[in-house]
Each structure stands twice: as C-alpha cells, then as structure tokens.
Amino acid sequence: MLTLLFIVLLSFLLFVRVAYLQIAQHDRFELLSQENHIDRVPLEPVRGLILDRNEEVLAHNVQVFNLEILPDRVSDLDRYLQELSHLVEFTQEDMDGLKATLKSRPSFERQTLKTNLTDEQVAVFSVNQHRFPGVELKVDLQRDYPYGDLAAHIVGYVGRISPDDRELVNEQGEYDGISHIGKIGIESQYEKTLKGDPGHSQVEMNAHGRIVRHLKQDMPNSGQTLHLSLDIMLQKESMAALEGYEGAIVAIDPKTGEILALASAPTYDPNLFVNGISKTRYAQLNTSELKPLFNRSIYGQYAPGSTIKGFVSLVGLEHGYEHARKTFCPGWYSLPNNDRRYRCWRRSGHGLVDGYTAIERSCDVYYYDLAIRLGIDRLQEGLMRFGFGQKTGIDLQGERSGLMPGMEWKQEVHNQPWFSGDTVNSGIGQGYMLMTPVQLASVTAILANRGVAITPHLLRMTENPVRQQSELTVVPEQKQIPLQQDEFYDQVIESMRRVVHGLNGTAKGIRTDMRYEMAGKTGTAQVVGIPQGQEYDEENTPKKYRDHSLFVGFAPLDDPRIAIAIVVEHGGSGGKVAAPIARRLIDYYLLERLGLFTPEVDVLPTGQI
C-alpha cells in the first residue's frame, strides 16, 4: 500500500513539473528552442545627425567594435568575465554595470559586454573567440561629438538606456535593439526625431550562439538629421570670451528668434557620457564648485540689475511718465518719512537727469523714483508683458522662469507684506527679481524688434537622410507688444544707443573704431547687500560675494541682426567686463561671419551722440 502511495505521489509531482514546464514556461522554452536554429535579431537604426546652421557636424556616429554576450549561452558568467579579462580589460565598474543590466533584462536578450575595443583588443579576441560561446564581436555605431565641450549644454548627449529609462520608452518595439537614448539637451528634446525606427533580421544560429546566415531582413529607418540655428564658430568665440570666468552668453537673431550662440562656462565633454562615465569622473564634475554640468544659460537665475532700466522706462511711458521728465540725483534716494538711503552707484550723484540721461549714465535714483511712482502692481504687470518672470519657450528641457515678484508672491512665499523698499529695489533689477540669460536675450530681441516677440528656438529644419528632403520647422507665431505710441520704443532705443556712443555712456569704452551703431545697457548686480554706512570694496571682497557683470544689446541699430545677453558671475562692472565681451562677439558675427561693414565704410566719430 505504501509503495502504491509513493508511486502515485511521485507521478503527481512529475505531472506538476511537466505542466509547469509545458504551460508556465512554454513561451520561454519555445523561444530558446527556436534560437538553437532561428533567431529574430533586432537591427538598430542609425541615429540622425545634428548640424549647425552652416552644416558643421555637431553630433554624428562613428564605427566601433563592441563585445556582446548572450547570457543564456553562458553557464558561469563570473568565470567568463575572469577569463575574458585576460584578453580585454574590464574594470570593476564594467562588471558591476553588466550585472545590474542582466538583472533588469531577460537572459535570452543580447547585452553589451564591452564597448569601443581597440584594434589590438579586436585582434586578440578574434583569435580566441572559439573559447567563448555566446560572446560575439560586433561592429556598431557610437555617438560622437566632434566639437566636444563647445556645445555640450546645447546638443547634450546620449547614454545607455537605464532601468529608469525602460519605464519611459514605449514597450511596443520602438527601442528593440537600441542601446542608447538622448539624456539631455537637443539629444533628449528631439529624441523621437533622431532615434529612427528599428528593423529585424531573421537569422540562423549555430550551437555556439553565433549567426550562420541571414534569412530575412526588415531594414531599419534612420533617424532624421537636425539642422540647428547655432553658429558653432560664434559659439566657439563665445566660449573663448568666457575663458577664466563662470557665466553665460546667449545670442539671438531678433528677426527670426533663432539662437546663434548659447554658451555656459565652465562646461564638460559630452563624449564622456556616451558609454557610461566612471563614478570617479562623474563625482568630480557633479561636486565641483564651478558647476560645469549646470547650464547657466537656461537654469541660472540672476538679478538683472540695470539691464532692465529701458523696460522700466517703457512701463513708465505707458503710464504717462514722459522720457523728458527730470529727476534730481544727489547720489542717494530716500522714501518719505524714512531715514534709509538707497544709494546710486555714483556716490556724488548725477544731478538733474531725464530718461535719456538716466539710461545712458545708468542713474539708479531716477529709477528708484520712477518705480515708486508706478507702484509694484503696475511695474510687475508692465514688465511681465515683455516676458519677465515667464519661460521663453526655448526648445531645451528644464528652462527656468526667473521671477517677477509682487505683493501676492511675497505674501505666499515669505508670508510677509510687500514694502516700498522692495519696489525701490525692483526698479533697478535687484531685490527678489531674477532672470535667466536666455530671458535677457529674448526681451532684448523684443526691444530690437520694437515690440515683436518671437519664441527663441534652436531647431531650424529636419531632413530625411534617405530621401534628402528638408522640412523647415514652423517659426513660432509673432506676438506684437503694442504701446500707446510707437515712438516710446524709439526713445528707449536712442537712450541705449547713447550707452555705447554717448559722451557719458557706461559702455563708451567699447565704441572705439566701431563700424556700426548699436544699442546696449550695462548692468552690475549685487550678490549680497551692503549695510548702511559701508562701501563696497571689490578688491577685499571674496570672489563669491562680488557683483555680477551684465550687458545686453543689439546691432546694427537700424537693421538688427544679433541681440545678445551676457552674464559674468562675480565679474564686477558691466561696462568693464561684460560690455567688451559683447563688442568682441558682435564684431565677430557681423564682420567676420556675415561679412558686413567692410573697412571702406566710414568709422563713426568717437563721442558722436
């Protein structure tokens, strides 16, 4: 009887095991059994190129040799890796990364074991390949950024698809055989356009997991080529101008909204990220006090300082405060029944100034007074019409909005009432007000266009690399910012012209031998407040507490081709640091890149108003 029961129990267990293998594991073993003979191998599409406005290559694909492994064909992975390490160098990070990937993916999927083998490593492995069933040498295309760190904050980079990325990508085959995905910048913004569509190949495999022949192929579709508005030579000049500084430069074609340069310094080499940056190197970049991974042009938020004074004047003009109205500047300003003095940058004062002189000489007292006359509500509403406190809409992810503060904002964020002193500070772009460099460039372009706003953008057109058909991107709809009188724009622009070309302009030092006229505005933004009765001493102030240097401007005056915003962190005077950089870059773009204003054209007399 016991023998019978034992036989029945054994038969039952055998039946359960067979049922499990035949039913629960049917799909897996059916696929594995087919893979002994026939395999369906995904074919990775060629990722689209990224070019600048003159078809200079910013991102392309280069041929490399990689090692791939089919885990199901490997009985002892640790032993395999140990033996392979005698032929091909593996770091501990390589091994840890592979094991982490294997845990997140099915064992019957091929995985990249080692990328970018040297010619010597390829030769050594080829001779010993028979010793490693399931490991195969494969020719792949690898993303490469020929200009390295020059355009890293624009183009971005691709990286291996991580477990986190797997949750974001479509599970319906869109990423079959694709190992990399855009992580940041244009590579991420236009991932779907660049990626292409994978194909598949039906292949016959031998017992060692190697392809014997191709039976049928469904070819992949290559990704689109992107043509950007960026001028990589102007970008190179911008990065050179920022050498030794931390800061950002944004240049826009005001007629189209196209970004010509978008520089953030310091920067980094995006090629380090393509196949996975080492933990040590990433930690160095991520913890550096200079923040090379931080894109200052769209993430950095700075007090705009005096660069906004022209816009404050426009708000004043809209509310009846004429540009010819005069204010006396003794070097300080006080609110009624208040002993506190809000100082002008010029200690001795500017005397009697109107709107033209106030912008030319950057008189703070004039704008303290104007801001109080307007009140924060009208000032906030008026500046927001031009885009203050709002994202520009540039086609890069993560853009910040800056801050145009007001009563409700302060009450909500700080649980404090708005004081008249807050309005005083807002009148000269200080206090709580913040702007990104791309915002500064965008509002400057609006002024150059005399009220026409166009969304800043980097993508000009896409191109099908097979059919060689180009498609222009849709230029964002132009938005007109009307004023009660069109001449209000002319009055402010004339005032900004005097900043550079006037006898007392704060940027008069950059006008020597200038072959064109331009409008500009300097800015020197405080990083920390200065107590009453004390003076700012730059030489004895630690660098991290020194003023930021800013400049905005556009040229030529009568037919603007470039609008520019420059922020140099802790650079000091806007007229001494940021303004000369602007002259250098505008000269380079107009004279060398566009070939305008040949030497035969008469030079403007120094001091002409």
Catalytic residue numbers read: 306
Q: Strands 199-205 and 38-43: what pairing? A: antiparallel
**Three-state SS for 125?**
helix
Helix (H, G, I), strand (E, B) or coil at 185: helix
Per-position DSSP letters for 46-63, written without gaps between them: PPPPEE-TT--EEEEEEE
DSSP state letters, 76-97: -HHHHHHHHTTTS---HHHHHH
Whole-angstrom Cα distance, residue 416 to residue 407? 9
Helices (H) and strands (E) in the chain, counts: 20, 23
The SS3 of residue 32 is: helix
CA–CA distance, 508 with 590 (Å, rounded to integer)? 19
Amino acid identity, position 482: P
Peptide bond into 254 cis (omega under 30): no
Strand 469-472 versus strand 459-464 pairing type: antiparallel
Q: Write the Ramachandran bin of 533: left for phi over 0, alpha for psi from -120 to 50, otherwise beta.
A: left
Residue 187 CA to residue 224 CA, distance in Å, equals 12
Give me 237's structure tokens: 């000049």
CA–CA separation, 437 and 262 (whole Å): 9
Residue 539 to residues 256, 421, 528, 576: CA-CA distances in angstroms?
Answer: 42, 28, 15, 15
Give yes or no for a contact between 433 and 542, defined as CB atoms under 8 angstroms apart: no
- The span from the CA of 60 to the CA of 143, in Å, is 6
